């Protein structure tokens, strides 16, 4: 009995150390530090355990897979409070991408708006991290504009409302957030639609927080060609107007 107890104790300690190693490897300490420094961080963003995510996806059963993407697998899950969520399980994260990954979590933790996809949870204590989002069932606006099978299901009035909701969300990101946020890649593939076709801005991987005392920030050009602000391309100076330009570009092309 003593030998068995010692064996399980040692095994448990090794597991704890391994989890700590993965947590640090996936940027957990950086995330904790940045979130603690952000007074406006949403209390809904949590660091959850593997056990909770396993239950939500029935141990990542194949029947729960929603799709495969470049970074990994997307699962449909149901939390203990019966909320339906989307769980993104990464294949791997390159060390050079950790900063961008943590940046996304920090930025999403600042936002609590009905027209922005909400990050509910993150889990960093495995070899690859997981992110848990609100489930948005009707896919991207792009699919409803360009796929003939979907285009007829959305009325012109609904498309107009989606455009208005997107501008309201952008205004909130730019002006109402505690620290202004520039999305940096506004386009129809990054606008998701829920069951009532309410717009939800998504994909904040390249977004940036803007210090309150600055109108613009100098950054290497990132985003989608064709939607990028020419002034940003020429000067590397990113401003809120860059998002406005991207919005105007996809709206004029789409409609």
Are the C-beta atoms of residues 44 and 112 closer than 8 Å to each other?
Answer: yes
Q: 119-158 burial, b if ≥16 CB within 10 A, otherwise e?
A: bbbbbbbbebbbbbbbbbebebbbbbbeeeebeeebeeeb
User: Residue 242: its pLDDT value, please?
Assistant: 92
Query: Which range in 41-45, 92-96, 210-214, 244-248 is most confidently predicted, on average pLDDT?
Result: 244-248
Supply 181's token pair.
């946020």
State mean pLDDT over 22-38: 70
State mean pLDDT over 49-78: 81
Residue 147: is its pLDDT beyond 80? Answer: no
User: Residue 104: its pLDDT value, please?
Assistant: 76
Regarding pTM above 0.85, the answer is no
Query: When comparing pLDDT for 124 and 233, which is higher?
Result: 233
Residue 121: is its pLDDT beyond 90? Answer: no
Supply 114's token pair.
């009905």
Query: When comparing pLDDT for 125 and 140, which is higher?
Result: 140
3-state secondary structure of 96: helix
d(CA 180, CA 196): 28
Q: With cut-offs at 50, 70 and 90, classify the pLDDT of residue 255.
A: low
User: Residue 35: its pLDDT value, please?
Assistant: 67
Domain annotation for the chain: domains and CATH numbers: 21-134 (3.30.200.20), 141-254 (1.10.510.10)
Please name every residue paired with 65 in a beta bridge, in sequence order, or none if there are none: 75
* Average pLDDT score, the chain: 80
In this structure, what are the phi and psi dihedrals at residue 138, rounded to the nearest 5 degrees? -95, 15
Residue 39: is its pLDDT beyond 70? Answer: no
Place of tokens 């204590």: 125
Please name every residue paired with 130 in a beta bridge, in sequence order, or none if there are none: 89, 123
User: Residue 171: its pLDDT value, please?
Assistant: 93
State mean pLDDT over 67-77: 79
Query: Is residue 185 annotated as part of the catalytic site, yes or no?
Result: yes
Please name every residue paired with 209 in a beta bridge, in sequence order, or none if there are none: 181
Out of 94, 134, 185, 243, the active site residue is: 185
Q: With cut-offs at 50, 70 and 90, classify the pLDDT of residue 42.
A: very low
Place of tokens 């936002």: 111
Query: When comparing pLDDT for 165 and 64, which is higher?
Result: 165
């Amino acid at each position: 009995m003593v030998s068995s107890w010692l064996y399980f104790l040692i095994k448990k300690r090794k597991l704890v150390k391994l989890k700590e190693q993965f947590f640090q490897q996936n940027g957990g300490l950086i995330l904790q530090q940045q979130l603690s420094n952000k007074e406006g961080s949403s209390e809904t963003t949590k660091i959850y355990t593997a056990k909770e995510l396993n239950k939500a996806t029935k141990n990542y059963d194949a029947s729960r897979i929603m799709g495969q993407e470049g970074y990994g697998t997307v699962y449909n899950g149901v939390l203990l409070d019966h909320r339906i969520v989307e769980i993104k399980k990464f294949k791997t994260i390159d060390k050079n991408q950790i900063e961008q990954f943590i940046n996304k979590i920090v930025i999403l933790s600042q936002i609590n708006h009905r027209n922005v996809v909400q990050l509910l949870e993150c889990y960093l204590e495995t070899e690859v991290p997981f992110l848990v989002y609100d489930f948005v069932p009707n896919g991207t606006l792009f699919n409803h504009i360009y796929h003939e099978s979907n285009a007829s299901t959305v009325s012109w009035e609904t498309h107009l409302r989606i455009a208005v909701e997107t501008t309201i969300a952008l205004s909130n990101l730019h002006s109402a957030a505690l620290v202004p946020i520039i999305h940096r890649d506004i386009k129809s593939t990054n606008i998701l639609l829920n069951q009532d076709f309410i717009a939800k801005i998504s994909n904040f991987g390249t977004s940036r927080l803007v210090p309150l005392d600055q109108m613009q920030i100098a950054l290497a050009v990132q985003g989608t060609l064709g939607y990028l602000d020419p002034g940003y391309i020429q000067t590397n100076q990113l401003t809120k107007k860059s998002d406005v330009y991207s919005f105007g570009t996809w709206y004029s092309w789409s409609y």
